[in-house]
Amino acid sequence: MHPAFSVIAFTVCSGAGFGLLALVSAGAALGLIPADRLLGFVAMGLGLALACGGLLSSTAHLGRPERAWRAFSQWRSSWLSREGVAAVATILAAVALAAGWVFLGRTDGAFAAAGLATAVLSVATVSTTAMIYASLKPIAAWHSPLTLPAYLLFSVMTGAGLLTALLSVFGLDVRALAAVAAVLALAGWVLKRAVWHRNADHPGVSTLNSATGLKGGMVRSLEWPHTEENYLLKEMGYRVARKHALKLRRIAQALAFALPLVLFALAAVVGGVAGTVAAVVAAVVQLAGMLVERWLFFAEAKHTVTLYYGR
């Protein structure tokens, strides 16, 4: 599939934003994060900015962005529509918590309920985003039982990284949270390798033989349907050289998982200024690595329609 930057930015930013909102809202509601007004403003503001910015960037990939509002009407049958509804509900709950936290210095009572609602709705929003891709049967790499867990884990992983860096900058003891962020980075690494392994063993459910119903011998096209690239090939038959894909996989693993794992582990052990620097660098590097990982998520996926073109 064509790796459009608008969709890549959407999945990375919204995933990190909703992951941060889920963790910081739950932490505030449960009294694990102090009700400091400046902390609330920065934490909730960053989460909302990433979530909303990611959602807005996704509209750049639409042919008619001004009609995006119509997607909300199809929530009974469309995961895209459900994502929009869930995102709006999450943002409203987050704004309610932010209002109490920033203006009143309170995260208890009704504001705690808003915080718990924000956490639950954030998870629901990320789940609907994952199901947009997991429900597409013609794309074998996405139509997988691993797609939903991967989206949820990557969202929590990046959200935990941002929260660790943020709380550390505010001078709070984040050694336990940094250890959790390190474990999540390791879990994300293991799951991503499992996804790649699964896709290598399960490249597709259809072949030219099964598509044509001809079971004897190897079916191949005698003549190409087009003499040059067309829309379907550009959008659904994007090709990346194997050596480039392997190189990008190594970069994604290093930036999104390996380096953050080491840096968050360092922050969990040393604390202080050195731990703060390690946590901040880890969070930034992890987001950069996720951009590469998401690029591969789209670029390496192939639509069944490419069989028609001999691919």
Q: How much is the average pLDDT of 132-156?
A: 92
pLDDT category at 305 given cuts 50, 70, 90 is confident
Per-residue confidence (pLDDT) for residue 80, from 0 to 100? 86
CA 50 to chain centre: 11
Whether 167 contacts 147, CB under 8 Å: no
Calpha distance 171→71 (Å, rounded): 43
Q: Which conformational region is residue 171 in: left (phi greater than 0), alpha (psi within -120 to 50 degrees), or beta?
A: left
Whether 148 contacts 125, CB under 8 Å: no
Domain ranges of the chain: 1-135, 173-311
Q: Is the pLDDT of residue 175 over 90?
A: yes
pLDDT in tens, 184-224: 999 999 999 999 999 887 756 566 666 666 666 676 666 66
pTM over 0.85: yes
Calpha distance 186→300 (Å, rounded): 23
Q: Is the pLDDT of residue 268 over 90?
A: yes
Whether 125 contacts 19, CB under 8 Å: no
